[in-house]
Amino acid sequence: LIRLPVDGAEVIAEGAYLHHCVGGYVDRMAAGKTTILFIRRASAPHEPYYTLEYLNGRVQQCRTTHNKSFELDSKVAAFVQEWVHKLPDLRKKKKTVKRAA
């Protein structure tokens, strides 16, 4: 699964847990200059697994423990590629609001 962090503290904790530098991205994320997302195993949704930076319409980086790239794990690479491929469709979907007559 993939999700947004709840707050900056969660981003900092993610970086500490995975031993990479995402905690330093909190200010950029808060300013809207980048998007940080968390990739989790469905079997362990609360445990850090991979951290993804999405910037300018593409995956800027996606890292796991000690800054290892997602490209080294074929399952994660395939998951990320499928997510990116589905993004345009997700953007097109609009929420329908039903109004009472």
pLDDT in tens, 38-78: 999 999 999 999 999 999 989 999 999 999 999 999 999 99
Contact 29, 52 (CB under 8 A): no
Give mean pLDDT, residues 16-29.
96
Range list of H helices, 19-73: 26-30
Cα dist from 73 to 3, 49, 68, 93, whole Å: 19, 12, 9, 30
Q: How many CB atoms lie within 10 A of CB 35?
A: 15
What per-residue confidence (pLDDT) applies to 65? 97
Q: DSSP secondary-structure letter at 44?
A: B
What per-residue confidence (pLDDT) applies to 87? 85
What is the rounded CA–CA span in Å between residue 59 and residue 80?
Answer: 9
